[in-house]
Amino acid sequence: MRDYEMMYIINPTVCDQEETLEEAIAKVHALVTDNGGEIVNVDRWGKRKFAYEIEKITEGYYVVAKFKIAPETLTELNRVMKLNEDLVRYMIINEELN
């Protein structure tokens, strides 16, 4: 297992309601744990304005999660993250390379 860090931005229509925000965060973290990974740390940055519009959206809820997962499962994790409609953007980086 390798260490990774993932930052993702949740759509503001989802994060305006506390229940749906928690569900969206749990859904993303379940993707990691269901694929044999382990969430190490979660840092919620909260709602912030974007420097520029992304698909006519001007703000989002930022979350940074550190996790451990096997490198082979990262392809599947990326594929499912792209399909998640609650997310505006996401990025996964390898912590060991930094």
pLDDT of the residue at 97: 66
pLDDT tens, per residue, the chain with 98 residues: 899 999 999 998 887 777 788 899 999 999 999 988 999 999 999 999 999 998 899 999 999 999 999 988 988 889 999 998 889 999 999 877 65
Q: How many CA atoms lie within 13 A of 17 on its CB side?
A: 7
CB-based contacts of 14, cutoff 8 Å, min separation 6: 20, 21, 24, 61, 86
Residue extents of the structural domains in the chain: 2-97
Q: 2-97, what's its fold?
A: Alpha-Beta Plaits (3.30.70)
The single residue listed with the structure tokens 């993702």 is: 8
To the question of pTM greater than 0.75 for the whole model, the response is yes
Q: 56 is written with which tokens?
A: 């006519």
The single residue listed with the structure tokens 């993250």 is: 81
Provide DSSP, 79-95.
HHHHH-TTEEEEEEEEG
